[in-house]
Structure 1
Amino acid sequence: MKKIILALFIAVLVPLQACAQEQWKEGEHYTIINDTATDKPVINEFFSYWCPHCFQFEPIVKDIKSKISDDVKFEKVHVNFMGFTSTETQDDASRALMVARALKKEDALSTAIFRYIHVQKSSVTSIKDLKNIFMVNGVDEADFDKLVGSFGVNSMLKKNNKMVEKYRQYLRGVPNFIVNGKFQATFTRDMNTKDMVDLIVWLSKQK
C-alpha cells in the first residue's frame, strides 16, 4: 500500500514540477546573469525608500518571505542612485537600514521610513530625520547614536554598497530581485501579484 501511495505522490509531483518549468521561461521571466549560484539560497531585493513602486511592493515582499523555505535568506539592499534626492541622503537611508537590522527591527522600521515618505509626505534630508523616525517608533536615542557609526553597522553598510556595485549594470530600476546570485527576475505585464511571488519562490529553488 505504501508503495502505491508513493507512486501516486510521484505521479502528481512530477507533472507539477514540469508545469512550473513550462510557466517560467528564461529570457522572458528571468535572466541568467551568472554561471554559478551562491552556496546558499538568497534573495536580494534592491530597492529605494523614495521609490513609490518599492513602497507598493512591500506587501508582495511580505508574501514572498512567508512562502520561501527556511533555508532561504531574504535581504534588502538599499540603492543610492535614484534621482529623487541627493546621493548623500540616500547613503544616510542605507545606513539607517543597517541600524534597523542591527536592532533586529528591520521590518518595522523600514515600514516606518516608507510611510514617512509616501504616506505622511514628509521629507528626509539627513540622518537626523531618520533618527527621529526611529525614536518616534520606539528606538532609544542612545541606542541609535551608539549603533549609527559602529563597526558592525559600517561593515553591513560596506557589504550593502558592494552588492549595489556588483549588480549595478543589471539594475535599470527598482524594485529589482537577484536570486541566488545567478537569476534576475523579470515581471511581465500579464503577471499578477501571485505570479510574482511564485516566480521568486521558484527561482530561490534553482541552482
Structure 2
Amino acid sequence: MNSKSLLRSTVLLAVAAGIVVSPLQAGAATHRHPVEGVQFVRLDHPQPVRESARTEAAEFFWYDCGHSQALEQPLRAWTEKHRADVVLRRVPAIWPGSPEERVQRAHARLYFTLERLGLVESLQTAAFRSIHNDGADVTTEVTATNWAARKGVDAQKFRAAYGSAEVRRSVDDAAAQFIRYGVNELPTVVVQGEYRTSPTRAGGVEAMPEVLDYLVQQEQLQKG
C-alpha cells in the first residue's frame, strides 16, 4: 500500500469515526481460532439477510481505497472457494457527512450502474485501477460514461442505467447501510448480518479470508 492510500484511509477514519487505520493493530493470532472482540466483532444490531440458503458476506468497499483494492483478488478467490455456501454482496461505501461523501456517492453510482448492467465481475478490477491508481475522474455522468465507453461499454445503455431511479435508490440505501452495519473501516466484510471484520481487526487484508472462513463455519454450525 502506498503512502497516499494510508493517509486517505487515516484521514477518513479520523473524520468519520475517530479511529486510525492500522492493518497490524490487533494482529490475528496465527493458527488459532479468531476471537470475538479481537479479529471480529458482533454487530450491536444484527441485520436481516436477503438469502437464507447460503451465508451472506457483505463487503463494504471504496474504489479510491488502497485496502479495498488489495482485498479484491483475495476476496474473489475466497468467494470462488465458497460458491456453494456463500453469496457475496458488495456495498460501495458512503460516509454520510464526511468530506468525501460527494465523491463516494459518485463512485457508488458507478458501481450500481455496472451492477445493473451485469458488468461488475468484468470491470470491478478496472474500476479500482483507474480510480485509485490512475486518478480517473468518474464523478459525473459524462466522465463516468466516457470511462465506461473506453472499457467497451455501450454508452447509451450506460447512461440509461446511470440515470435510473433504481440506481439512485441503491446509492441512498448504501449510505443507510453504512450506518446500520456500524462500518468504521474500509474494507469491511459482514457475515450473515451479524459478524464484522476488517484489516485492523483481522491483522491485515491478507488475514481476512481466514477470519471469514471461521465466521462462515460458525454460521453453518448454527444452522445445523
TM-score, normalised with respect to structure 2: 0.70
CA distance in structure 2 between the aligned counterparts of 1:115 and 1:43, rounded to whole angstroms:
23
Tell me which residue corresponds to 2:37: 27
Amino acid at match of 1:201: D
Tell me which residue corresponds to 2:213: 201
Amino acid at match of 1:110: Q
Tell me which residue corresponds to 1:180: 192
CA distance in structure 2 between the aligned counterparts of 1:117 and 1:84, rounded to whole angstroms:
19
CA distance in structure 2 between the aligned counterparts of 1:119 and 1:192, rounded to whole angstroms:
18
Q: Deviations over 1:37-73 (max 9, x none)?
A: 7453211111111111111221111122112242422
| RMSD across aligned positions (CA) | 2.8
Tell me which residue corresponds to 1:62: 76
Structure 1 residue 99 corresponds to structure 2 residue 120: no
Mapped contact 1:48–1:79 kept (Cα < 8 A): yes
Mapped contact 1:46–1:79 kept (Cα < 8 A): yes
Question: What is the number of residues matched between the two proteins?
Answer: 184
Structure 1 residue 76 corresponds to structure 2 residue 90: yes
Residue in structure 1 matching 2:59, options 45, 49, 70: 45
The Cα shift of 1:112 comes to: 1.8
CA distance in structure 2 between the aligned counterparts of 1:177 and 1:31, rounded to whole angstroms:
11
Secondary structure at the counterpart of residue 106 of structure 2: helix
CA distance in structure 2 between the aligned counterparts of 1:35 and 1:145, rounded to whole angstroms:
37
- Unpaired segments of 5 or more residues in structure 1? 1-20
Mapped contact 1:34–1:181 kept (Cα < 8 A): no
CA distance in structure 1 between the aligned counterparts of 2:84 and 2:164, rounded to whole angstroms:
30
- Relative to structure 1, the CA distance from residue 131 to residue 83 in structure 2 (aligned partners, 3 Å threshold; closer, same or farther) is farther
- Relative to structure 1, the CA distance from residue 135 to residue 84 in structure 2 (aligned partners, 3 Å threshold; closer, same or farther) is farther
Amino acid at match of 2:60: F
CA distance in structure 2 between the aligned counterparts of 1:174 and 1:107, rounded to whole angstroms:
20
Which structure has the bigger radius of gyration? 1
CA distance in structure 1 between the aligned counterparts of 2:39 and 2:197, rounded to whole angstroms:
6
Matches within 5 A, 1:8-23: 23=33
CA distance in structure 2 between the aligned counterparts of 1:145 and 1:102, rounded to whole angstroms:
11
CA distance in structure 2 between the aligned counterparts of 1:161 and 1:178, rounded to whole angstroms:
15
The Cα shift of 1:200 comes to: 0.9
